Chain A
Amino acid sequence: MRIILNGQPRTAEEPTSVADLLSQLELEPVRVAVEINEDIVPRKRFGETPIRDGDRIEIVTFVGGG
């Protein structure tokens, strides 16, 4: 299936959850926050939240800033 990840089109294996996607991307769940179609996915639901074809997903973290 096709998803938009951080603004870039990408192919994801299915079926997949937010937790699976983070694992494929080698991202630590505790260091990120995730939105699907502009709704925040609470961290405790990463495992049970499915990713569907066409989802717009944002994975954000902290960076240095003022």
Chain B
Amino acid sequence: MSEKRTRIGSFEFSSRLFLGTGKYSSYPVMTAALEASGCEVVTVAVRRDVLAPEGGTKPDNILDHLDLNRYTILPNTAGCFSAKDAVRSAKLSRELLEGLDHPGAKWVKLEVLADKKTLLPDPIGTLEATKALVDAGFEVLAYTGDDPIVAKHLKDAGAVSVMPLGSPIGSGQGILNPNNILLCLEYLKEDDPDYPVIVDAGVGTASDVSIAMELGADGVLLNTGIAGAADAVTMASAMNHAIQAGRLAYLSGRIPRKRYATASSPMENVIAPA
């Protein structure tokens, strides 16, 4: 079966797995995990730069460890708890990436969070920031809950992709409400089947990725599920297989669930008829 590349705004990719770059035990482990995952897009956050301590040396910058010709950087506004801070963060990212002459300057993964305990997105702040960033010329990928109505509002506000969560960030709980993800897909793709929907957050292991893809998601973004695994590089490889398995299963058209058994072997001419 031939597989289309996935389009998000003005970008186009073969891999449907999008990776975060936080919480790896070291930069070499991160680099090896990115490689094993087959991803083409990596997300990074913006923070105050760390100044070198008196007489000491400055720690490595993540840009020393990312091949900007190979990976498309997707800057995020993680850690922002208001629309104003998210817009400010996005503009700083754009400035950084324009300076590096990198295509990632055009887009942003918008996160406006509501609460430090759950890190759940604030739908009202997210909608407000989406409008502001679209007006400022950004291609916005909006991280949101799994509420299909909010998802539709974000698309209507101009987001190039909506990214519903599977479960809270870093929780490893997988896809808690597959029915809502299905409704998000239905509402967002109604009359617009190629509109990209990426499940973002909550992945614990490979099957979670496959489930998201089997539901019909266009991609999955994850970080902790790989970075936090005991063997991050092998888990990245598992996620690479899972995204492909889930996508192919979705395209293949699964059988319906039935209450009773359906024999795979002929029931005729058995040696001891029932």
- Chain B facing A: main interface SS: mixed
User: CA of A7 to CA of B99 in the docked complex: distance in angstroms?
Assistant: 24
By a CB distance below 8 angstroms, the chain A residues around B95 are 33, 40, 42-43
Closest-CB distance, B30 to chain A (whole angstroms)? 7
A26-B58, A64-B23 known; A6+B96 contact, CB < 8 A:
no
User: CA of A58 to CA of B62 in the docked complex: distance in angstroms?
Assistant: 19
CB of B22 within 8 A of CB of A66, answer yes
> Is B76 in contact with chain A by the CB < 8 A criterion?
yes
> Is B48 in contact with chain A by the CB < 8 A criterion?
yes
Contact with B along A22-49 (1 / 0, CB 8 A): 0001110111110100101011000000
User: CA of A58 to CA of B91 in the docked complex: distance in angstroms?
Assistant: 13
CB of A62 within 8 A of CB of B48, answer no
A38-B88, A65-B44, A66-B224 known; A6+B49 contact, CB < 8 A:
yes
CB of B45 within 8 A of CB of A65, answer yes
By a CB distance below 8 angstroms, the chain B residues around A30 are 99-100
Binding site for B on A (CB under 8 A): 6-7, 25-27, 29-33, 35, 38, 40, 42-43, 58-66
User: CA of A27 to CA of B76 in the docked complex: distance in angstroms?
Assistant: 22
User: CA of A8 to CA of B91 in the docked complex: distance in angstroms?
Assistant: 22
What are the 9 A-B residue pairs with the smallest beta carbon separation, nearest first? Answer: A66-B20, A66-B223, A65-B45, A64-B21, A33-B95, A6-B48, A64-B22, A62-B44, A65-B22
Chain B residues numbered 52-93 whose CB sits less than 8 Å from any CB in chain A: 52, 58, 61-63, 73, 75-76, 78-79, 88, 91-93
Closest-CB distance, B136 to chain A (whole angstroms)? 12
**Cβ 8 A contact of A61, one of B43, B46, B76, B223:** B46
Chain B residues numbered 72-129 whose CB sits less than 8 Å from any CB in chain A: 73, 75-76, 78-79, 88, 91-93, 95-96, 98-100
CB of A26 within 8 A of CB of B63, answer no
CB of B58 within 8 A of CB of A63, answer no
**Cβ 8 A contact of A59, one of B48, B62, B169:** B48
CB of A63 within 8 A of CB of B52, answer no
Number of A-B contacts (CB under 8 A): 102
By a CB distance below 8 angstroms, the chain A residues around B76 are 65-66
> Is B222 in contact with chain A by the CB < 8 A criterion?
yes
CB of A59 within 8 A of CB of B91, answer no
User: CA of A56 to CA of B101 in the docked complex: distance in angstroms?
Assistant: 27
User: CA of A22 to CA of B51 in the docked complex: distance in angstroms?
Assistant: 10
By a CB distance below 8 angstroms, the chain A residues around B75 are 62
Using CB atoms, name the residue of chain A closest to B73.
A62
CB of B92 within 8 A of CB of A66, answer no
CB of B223 within 8 A of CB of A33, answer no
Given contacts A31-B96, A65-B21, 8 further A-B contacts (CB under 8 A): A6-B49, A61-B47, A62-B44, A62-B73, A63-B22, A64-B62, A65-B78, A66-B224
By a CB distance below 8 angstroms, the chain B residues around A66 are 20-23, 43, 76, 78, 169-170, 201, 221-224, 227
By a CB distance below 8 angstroms, the chain A residues around B250 are none
